[in-house]
Amino acid sequence: MNDPDKFKAPFIPKERIWQETEKLRAAHPAGRKVPVQVLELAEFDLGLELIPAEGLREELEIDALLMGDLKSILVDRRAFMNPRMEYRLRFSVAHEIGHLILHRDINGGLQIDEPLDSLCPTLCEKLVRKC
């Protein structure tokens, strides 16, 4: 599946989402506490790199984005540095972890043959300029 315009993620029942969530929490130390230490879970337990990016929210109206390499998550730099945005950032990173876990069968089949900057030149140009 290389045409993002034709992609549609399959429906996942809430029960499966809860099962996957509990399995993930049980398997990782940062997931065992409440509230879940989402940033620690992402970085230390799952080995994801959190990359602050200027203007993610202003330019794209998002706070976080799972990258195509499935090894990093871009996070809005202002949200990352602002303690008042902590809860929103934790939610956004948890949401991206959800994409990684719940769509692992799809993610494994994705083939990104082109460099990211050729797939989204405007986004990458803006982000690279600001980082």
At 82-129, the pLDDT tens digits run: 999 999 999 999 999 999 999 877 765 554 444 444 445 455 555 544
Nearest CA among 68, 77, 75 for reference residue 100: 68
Nearest CA among 77, 76, 86, 8 for reference residue 40: 86
So what's the pLDDT on residue 95? 95
pTM of the model: 0.78
| pLDDT tens digit sequence for 28-68 | 999 998 899 999 999 999 999 999 999 899 988 999 999 98
For the domain 8-130, what is the CATH code? 1.10.10
Q: Where are the domains of the chain?
A: 8-130
Higher pLDDT: 12 or 4? It is 12
pLDDT exceeds 90 at position 25: yes
